[in-house]
Amino acid sequence: MDGAAHKTPGTAVIVIGDGLSGALAAAALLNRGYGVTLIGVNGRPGQGTAYADGADIHQANGPASALSADPTDPDHFSNWLEARYGRGGIPGAGADIPAADAFVPRWLYGRYAAEILQAAARGGGLTCLGAEVTDLEAGQSGVRVTLADGRQVAGSHAVLATGLHFTRPGRDPAAGAAFAPWDIARMRALPVLADVAIIGSGLSMVDAVSSLAEAGHQGRITVFSRHGRRPEPRRLAPEWPDYLTGLPDRITIRALFALVVRQCRLAIVSGGDWQSPLDLVRAHIGRWWWASDDVERRRFLRHVRSLWEVHHHRAPPLGHARVAAAASRLTHIAATVQRVEADPGQTGPGHADSRQAVTIHHRPRGGEAVLALGFDAVILSAGVEYDWRRIDRPLVRALLRRGLVRPGPLALGIDATREGRVIDRDGEAALRLFALGPLLRGLWWESTAIPDIARQSFEIAEIINPEPALVSDPGAGPWKEKVNEPD
């Protein structure tokens, strides 16, 4: 996919991050004729953590009909699957399943994203660099990024597509001894009856339990999470009448919650599925979150967030079946993990000593006392750190230090305008610096899933205007403007 940018150096749009956000933003820009320099640590555009090469049991959490990467064509992914594999041949899906209803392995989605980028780059214009961006300067005449090896790359604009940064419970370096939820190869080296802890109970926990099963593990599994809830299974629920479109942008979380619960109950008593009315919320949550004030948003975090997480972010069928199959060996502990302590002599695959390799210090929900439990191995499925002030990556620190970004609402990601123009420390919107994906969680609440990223990448490509004249003439026009966003 390497190739020379078809515009002169410095006029390409620099896309930082080569996960799904970076790949789709790059493709959308290329499709509009812009040169793109795509820079990513991974070096395999489109994959990121979510869609990296992996096992079939790690499925995308929605049917293909919900995962189009083209917001103008909802059938784009289903059609791609059919064209590539034909009906009945889709990896991981049953022979009788129509492409639109298929739950596919996530690695397959990575291929789809990579092909979208390849197709967009067919006419030239794409340069891919496998490197970490450590610094960024933005000025009137363009942007310049610095790479970890000291090289510098200039462009007309930059798009931050740096994605997810994972949390480490207790910020304890010992947590570095932990397994990733997808690391089946490493899990295979564990004793079959190893006593395993999983920190976190969301969808990555489902991946972790699936990976353990794939690795042949048959021992005890203890899941630690603050609330003790776990994801519901995703079903292909029947349609439900739209009861939300007429609602105003400003609505209290209490009123909304009551309305949604009422509709879910109605669905159950009428022989339907509560998932149908709940799923209609997704299309509106962004406008409600945007229009809310921080008091109302905090109310959502306090009272609704964990319910939303397990009922909306539901487990795909295979993963849910694996968790159900392990139920008799699985214990949930509702607790805050304070520290993970690893015995350096005991971690790693296959240790034979009877002493346990990892101690988890945790405070059970509602209690004061900190307890300690020992395990043979620990898997970190603890979720994402959205507060940039806590992320220890060079680019994140540099952007904050330079004042080019500021924390977003409730310190979830960074601040930006509706179209993704990054807002700086002084409250001014950049004309040359954009962001999309998980970084914008504070603006929309849901800004991490495939449909969000697909939409945002299109929107960014539509408003970026890399006019060569503006790039070559430092005096031409302002490079940031005062934000005047409506409430």
Task: List residues binding ligand FAD (CB under 6 A).
Answer: 16-22, 39-42, 48-50, 60-62, 106, 132-133, 161-164, 204, 395, 437-438, 448-450, 453
Q: At its nearest, how many Å lie between ligand FAD and the CB of residue 108?
A: 11
Distance of closest approach, residue 269 Cβ to ligand FAD, in angstroms = 31
Cβ 474 to ligand FAD, closest distance in Å? Answer: 26
**DSSP secondary structure, 212-248, as one string:** HHHTT--S-EEEEESS---PPBP--PPP----STTS-
Please identify, using beta-carbon distances, which residue of 286 and 437 lies nearer to ligand FAD. Answer: 437
Q: Taking the alpha carbons of 323, 68, 313, 359 in that order, is the dihedral positive or negative? A: positive
- Closest contact distance (angstroms) between CB of 320 and ligand FAD is 13
Q: State the nearest-atom distance from the C-beta of 165 to ligand FAD, in Å.
A: 8
Cβ nearer to ligand FAD, comparing 264 with 450: 450
Nearer to ligand FAD, 11 or 61 (CB): 61
Minimum separation from the CB atom of position 254 to ligand FAD (A):
28
For residue 82, give the nearest of 66, 69, 62, 101 by alpha carbon: 101
The β-bridge partners of 160 are 16, 435
Cα(411)–Cα(421) distance, integer angstroms: 17
Spatial neighbors of 92 by CB under 8 A, at least 6 apart, are 56, 59, 102, 103, 104, 105, 108, 318
| Of 382 and 453, CB closest to ligand FAD | 453
Token pair, residue 137, equals: 């300067």
CB 186, CB 387: distance < 8 Å:
no
DSSP string, 38-94: EEESSSSTT-TTTTSS--TTSB-SS-GGG--S-TT-TTHHHHHHHHHH-TT--TTS-
Supply φ then ψ for residue 352, to 5 degrees. -100, -15
Contact 69, 79 (CB under 8 A): no
Q: Which helix (H) or strand (E) holds 341?
A: strand 330-342
Q: Closest separation between CB of residue 81 and ligand FAD, Å? A: 15
Handedness of CA 31, 33, 38, 43 (dihedral sign): positive
Q: How far is the CB of 56 from ligand FAD (least distance, A)?
A: 14
- At residue 26, the 3 state secondary structure works out as helix
CB of 332 to ligand FAD, least distance (A): 20
- The residue (of 158 and 430) whose beta carbon lies closer to ligand FAD is 158
Rounded distance between C-alpha atoms, residue 475 and residue 431, angstroms: 14
| Contact present, 60 and 68 (Cβ < 8 Å) | no
Nearer to ligand FAD, 221 or 449 (CB): 449
Nearer of residues 152 and 252 to ligand FAD, judged by Cβ: 152
Whether the Cβ atoms of residue 437 and residue 21 lie closer than 8 Å to each other? yes
**Among residues 166 and 243, whose Cβ is nearest to ligand FAD?**
166
H/E element, 144: strand 142-147
**Of 70 and 195, which has the nearer Cβ to ligand FAD?**
70
* 36 vs 133 by CB, closer to ligand FAD: 133
CB of 198 to ligand FAD, least distance (A): 14
Residue pair 359/96 in contact (Cβ under 8 Å)? The answer is no
